Amino acid sequence: MLSTNWDILLDNSIKKYIGINYYEKAVVDYCCYISSFDKYDKTIMPGLEMLGMGGFNVKLLKLHGSLNWLQCPKCHRLYVRFDEKIGMLAFTDYVNCRHCDNNLGISEANKLISNSIMPTFIKDLSNPQYKLIWQNAGVELSEAEKIVFIGYSLPQADFEMRQLLSRMVRKDAQIKVVSFGKSKNAPSIRSLNQRYKIFFGERFKEPIYIHGARSYVMNELDN
Mean model confidence pLDDT for the chain: 92
Of residues 209 and 125, more confidently modeled: 209
pLDDT at 206 over 90: no
DSSP letters along the chain, please?
-EE-----HHHHHHHHHHHHHSTTTEEEE-SS-EEESSTT-TT---HHHHHHTT-EEEE-EETT--TTEEE-TTT-PEEE-TTS-GGGGGGT---B-HHHHHHH---GGGB-B--PPPSSSS-----HHHHHHHHHHHHHHHH-SEEEEES----TT-HHHHHHHHHHS-TT-EEEEE-B-S-TTSHHHHHHHHHHHHHHGGG--SPPB-B-HHHHHHHHHH-
Contact 77, 97 (CB under 8 A): yes
| pLDDT single digits (tens) 157-181 | 888 999 999 999 999 999 999 999 8
pTM of the predicted model, to two decimals? 0.90
Q: How far is the first Cα of the chain from the last one, in angstroms, to the nearest whole number?
A: 20
| pLDDT single digits (tens) 79-120 | 999 999 999 887 788 899 999 999 999 999 999 999 888 877
In the prediction, which pLDDT does 124 show? 77
The count of residues in the chain is 223
In the prediction, which pLDDT does 9 show? 95
Radius of gyration over alpha carbons of the chain, in Å?
19
- Give the chain's largest Cα–Cα span: 62
**Band (134; pLDDT cuts 50, 70, 90):** very high
**Band (1; pLDDT cuts 50, 70, 90):** very high
What are the residue boundaries of the structural domains of the chain, listed by start?
2-110, 145-222
pLDDT at 7 over 80: yes
